[in-house]
Amino acid sequence: ETGVTQTPRHLVMGMTNKKSLKCEQHLGHNAMYWYKQSAKKPLELMFVYSLEERVENNSVPSRFSPECPNSSHLFLHLHTLQPEDSALYLCASSRQSGTGGYTFGSGTRLTVV
């Protein structure tokens, strides 16, 4: 375990479903991230939260909606996804300075059918 826990590990959802991905860290980090990893683009930054405030939204479609209720928890709410959204969704956390890089979770493997 890295200290960053993601649930669920695997998710299959229909295009009309609504689901949420959860990420939790207790490393004392105050920045959290969502990344998408797929066959076409290995690691795409989606969202950055620093001190619970969203500081970056990397042109992500509105069918992805992040939520950061506190510095230890991060959610990614999903609705009306497309098959091309099937990918590995990785959560990471870091110190605000970025020194030491990210600590990643193991990811949620999402399949949209």
Partner 1 sequence: GESVGLHLPTLSVQEGDNSIINCAYSNSASDYFIWYKQESGKGPQFIIDIRSNMDKRQGQRVTVLLNKTVKHLSLQIAATQPGDSAVYFCAENRDYGQNFVFGPGTRLSVLP
CA angle 5, 23, 113 (to 5 degrees): 105
89 Cβ contact partners less than 8 Å away, ≥ 6 residues apart: 6, 21, 34, 35, 36, 37, 76, 107, 108, 110
39 Cβ contact partners less than 8 Å away, ≥ 6 residues apart: none
55 contributes a contact to partner 1 by CB under 8 A: yes
Task: For partner 1, give the closer residue by CB, 13 or 80.
Answer: 13
Task: For partner 1, give the closer residue by CB, 15 or 55.
Answer: 55
Choose which of 4, 21, 68, 78 interacts with partner 1 (CB under 8 A).
4
CB of 84 to partner 1, least distance (A): 13
The DSSP 8-state label assigned to residue 80 in this structure reads: S
Choose which of 78, 90, 110, 112 interacts with partner 1 (CB under 8 A).
90
Rounded CA-CA distance 87/89 in Å is 6
Task: Give the residues lining the site for partner 1 (CB under 8 A).
Answer: 2, 4, 9, 31, 33, 37, 39, 42-43, 45, 48, 50, 55-56, 88, 90, 92, 94, 96-107, 109
